[in-house]
Amino acid sequence: MYLLGDQSAYAEALTNRLQNLPAQWLAGLAPSGPALELESADDLMAQLPGDQLFLLTQGVVNGCLGARALFYWHEGDLIGLQQGPEWMDLRLCADGPLSLMPYRRNDVFQHICSEPPKAELLLRYLLGQTALLAHAVAELKPREFRSTNGFKRVQAGDVLIRQGDLSDHVFVIIEGHAEAFVDGHKVGDVPRDEIFGAMAVFTGEPRNATVIAREASTVMLIPGDQFLSMTRTNPKIAHSLIESMARRIDQLNQQLAAFHTPS
């Protein structure tokens, strides 16, 4: 079972190696009947006995989850391993002719387990399939909320952001606390897990505030372009940013209200 779409050179090479393994397990085991010949198939598993596995000797089989084609098998692969309640959403289909050589499932596993070298080949096949899926996930999954620049340890009084500077990073306080100042006046606190410095990254304008560590703190730095990409692909980050901005706006409103309140 391989993922449709472009693959890395490593994945292509691994796919080619895996395809040769099922025939090696089955060497010396007689098929349970003649080859099954089909012109096409809309739901292949519905046409195959559940107690058998099939060596695909001609054609290509596509696997769909819902309406989306995600996987494929071709000559040299074994069809039928993906059975059971865990695979209820998987539908196998083929647009062209297929030739499938049948083997009883129990006979296959007894045959493999009776010879340690064949059992090792089955393990290599299953581990290879897992590796292919892991590589596919790594390619397709949006980048997590992490910094390519790493973490920075700062001391109390260190300036994290300076008003008027260019904006090339977004920051998150992993441990500690900071304060924000505009024109020398404190305008708010920046607590742990707070995202700050994002507004200037969004607008491309210079920093509108200075942020100073109030105590020894650990800060994560995220390059601006990476942060913008993550906000588009990761709703959790966008939600966290909205919460952060809402708190800042509330702080400013409270300060304005206090400023205009008669003494």
Regarding whether 184 and 104 lie in a shared domain, the answer is no
Residue 146, domain member (yes or no) = no
* 3 state SS of 172: strand
What is the CATH classification number for the domain harbouring 248?
2.60.120.10
Regarding whether 120 and 81 lie in a shared domain, the answer is yes
Residue 20, domain member (yes or no) = yes
pLDDT (tens digit, 0 to 9) for every residue of the chain, 263 residues total?
677 777 777 778 888 888 888 999 899 999 999 999 999 998 888 888 888 999 999 999 988 887 778 888 889 888 888 777 777 788 889 999 999 999 999 999 999 999 999 899 888 888 888 888 777 776 665 554 444 457 888 999 999 999 998 888 888 888 899 998 989 888 888 888 778 888 778 788 888 889 999 999 988 888 888 777 766 766 666 666 666 666 666 665 565 566 555 65
Number of domains in the chain: 2
Write out the residue range of the structural domain in which residue 212 sits.
151-260
Residue 190, domain member (yes or no) = yes
- Joined together, the tokens standing for residue 74 give 């071709």
Query: Where are any strands of DSSP class E within 123-252?
Result: 151-154, 159-161, 169-175, 178-182, 185-190, 195-196, 210-213, 217-223
Regarding whether 110 and 66 lie in a shared domain, the answer is yes
Regarding whether 156 and 50 lie in a shared domain, the answer is no
CA distances from 212 to 152, 184, 188, 202 (A): 14, 11, 11, 21
